[in-house]
Chains A and B, each alone.
Chain A
């Protein structure tokens, strides 16, 4: 590793934002499952490492009736997988957590890290998008919140500025009868990145939300498609229409080593239909 860095692990949010303000070339370390790879391969360099795992606010993992979940930036993917109430209320999020990396990696990787790295195929992005998640960001100027759907700006790019620190992600509460599913296609069954990822959610008013991963430069929520769906009835027959229609919303890379765009167009349709049928309680696809 060519980086020469020192290591700082503050125990308060104030100290962390202050440090970021004063030290450029700082990398924020949470789980480290992406950062340690790019540092050791010299893809990234830094002079300082800011370990955020000892900051109390970032270790918050709470549910409040009517307000939903707050998941701090130090919470690991396996902690999310193991949370029973979250699995009951937000199945797609737990399924996304189960699908990320390998068991060992999930013991270190964090949900917020997965989002901040902004890989187009980030497993937790699509599930969080269908739940209207918000990202809470601290800097020396104070704390602000932004909708996750406005957070990603490109491959591995977000709206975050160098002095920003994400504290956590909040997910609004859901009502009884709300259901969701996360489906993904990868080359092998075990630990592997995905070719296509889709999260679908139906709320008690029968409104369908859809988000996709790995088929464009950013994970995206398909608001326009959702509006078109809202004009139709949620029946099993809608599955074929959806499978065809959803393809017009994606833009898979030509040069991906994992699969051709043609394959991704096809699979996106297949998974969309399968997900819809799962949610409206019909087997098949």
Chain B
């Protein structure tokens, strides 16, 4: 865990040394069972234990949205959830978006609309956007803005991100009605 008082250890997880607790959950369709540190956040569990580095750590205080994952269908900040709280949960991370090596429509539209530059905010943006489209397949611009208001981007600018989400919504609706 990044200990703000021990700066040298920012990239290392420091175990609390408390007796480990069993955690069972589903991540991107895979059942997982592990003994974990009770003080570990869901963000650290994904990155440190499961080596799923797609989910990013930005602020660790719920402000930036880089750590957003989908938990039981809802977009949540994984930095503010203890891993043990995800007992029995279904988690989707950015790694779970593509199927059989093919990017999801949402991911494809982010590329097409130039919805990313450095890409640091992108996993969080994608998860917030996916959660939105899952509950509301036809969102307005304002609804998109509201859904990603908790996701900060330092480089792309929000316009192309919003466009990417809107055109993904359109393509997904078309795919559904043709399907």
A and B together in one complex: yes
Tell me the smallest distance from the CB of B124 to a CB of chain A, in Å.
9
Q: Does residue B96 face the partner (Cβ distance < 8 Å to A)?
A: no
Q: A5-B18, A108-B81, A191-B150 are in contact. Are A37 and B3 (CB under 8 A)?
A: no
- Residue of B whose beta carbon sits closest to that of A105: B62
| Chain B contacts for A41, CB-based, 8 A | 4, 61
In whole angstroms, how far apart are the Cα atoms of A270 and B146 in the complex?
25
Q: Is the CB–CB distance between B17 and A42 below 8 Å?
A: no
Closest chain B residue, CB of each to CB of A102: B150
Given A1-B16, A2-B5, check contact A108 B38 (CB 8 Å).
no
| Candidate in A5, A6, A36, A42 with the most chain B CB atoms within 10 angstroms | A36
Tell me whether B18 and A107 are in contact (CB under 8 A). no
Residues in B whose Cβ lies below 8 Å from that of A37: 60-62, 80
Asked whether A267 is an interface residue with its Cβ less than 8 Å from the other chain, the reply is no
Contact B84 A4 (CB under 8 A): no
Binding site for B on A (CB under 8 A): 1-7, 9, 29, 32-33, 36-37, 40-42, 49, 51, 53, 78, 101-105, 107-108, 190-191
Nearest Cβ on chain B to A194's Cβ, whole angstroms: 15
- Whether B47 is near chain A, meaning CB under 8 Å from some CB there, is no
B68 at the interface (CB under 8 A from A): yes
* 23 A–B contacts, CB within 8 A, in A order: A2-B3, A2-B5, A5-B16, A5-B18, A5-B39, A6-B21, A29-B82, A33-B62, A33-B77, A36-B81, A37-B60, A37-B80, A40-B1, A40-B60, A40-B61, A103-B75, A104-B128, A105-B62, A105-B80, A108-B77, A108-B80, A108-B81, A190-B145
Are A5 and B149 in contact, with the CB atoms below 8 A? no
User: Is A103 in contact with B85, judged by CB distance below 8 angstroms?
Assistant: no
Cβ of A105: which chain B residues have Cβ within 8 Å of it? Answer: 62, 77, 80, 150
Which residue of the partner chain, among B21, B60, B80, contacts A32 with CB atoms under 8 Å? B80
Contact check, B146 vs A103: say whether CB atoms are below 8 A apart: yes
Is A36's CB under 8 angstroms from B4's CB? no
Number of A-B contacts (CB under 8 A): 97
Asked if B149 contacts A190 (CB within 8 A), the reply is yes
* Nearest CB in chain B: distance from A10 CB, A: 14
Question: Is the pair A6, B76 in contact by a Cβ cutoff of 8 Å?
Answer: no
Interchain CB contact under 8 A, A36 and B80:
yes
Residues A104 and B65 in contact, CB atoms below 8 Å apart: yes
**A-B pairs with the 9 shortest C-beta distances?**
A102-B150, A190-B149, A36-B80, A7-B38, A107-B74, A4-B16, A37-B61, A104-B77, A104-B150
Task: Identify the closest chain B residue to A35 (Cβ).
Answer: B80
B179 at the interface (CB under 8 A from A): no
Q: How many residues of B contact A (CB 8 A)?
A: 36
One digit per residue, 1 when the CB lies within 8 angstroms of any chain A CB and 0 when it does not, for chain B 18-50 equals: 110100000000000000001101000000000
In the assembled complex, which residues on chain A have CB atoms less than 8 Å from the CB atom of B62?
33, 37, 101-102, 104-105
Chain B residues contacting A5 (CB-CB under 8 Å) are 16, 18, 38-39
Q: Within 8 Å of chain A (Cβ to Cβ): is B79?
A: yes
Instruction: For residue B12, give the distance in angstroms from its CB to the closest CB of chain A.
Output: 13
Cβ–Cβ < 8 Å partners of B39 in chain A: 1, 3-5
- The reply to whether B149 and A6 contact each other, CB–CB distance below 8 Å, is no
| Chain A neighbourhood of B79, CB < 8 A | 36, 40
- Minimum C-beta distance from B41 to chain A (A): 7
- Kindly state whether residue B147 has any CB partner on chain A within 8 Å: yes
Q: Given A3-B39, A37-B80, A108-B76, verify A32-B85 contact (CB < 8 Å).
A: yes
The smallest C-beta distance from A50 to any residue of chain B, in angstroms, reads 12
- Chain B residue nearest to A82 in the complex (CB): B135
Q: List residues of chain A with CB within 8 A of the CB of B38.
A: 5-7, 49
Rounded to whole angstroms, the CA-CA distance of A51 and B21 in the bound complex is 15
In addition to A103-B128, A191-B150, 16 A-B residue pairs with Cβ atoms within 8 Å of each other are A2-B3, A3-B16, A4-B18, A4-B39, A5-B39, A33-B77, A40-B41, A41-B61, A42-B3, A78-B74, A103-B146, A103-B149, A107-B74, A107-B75, A108-B81, A190-B145
CA distance A105 to B78 in the complex (A): 10
Distance in angstroms from A74 CB to nearest chain B CB is 12
In whole angstroms, how far apart are the Cα atoms of A103 and B84 in the complex? 22
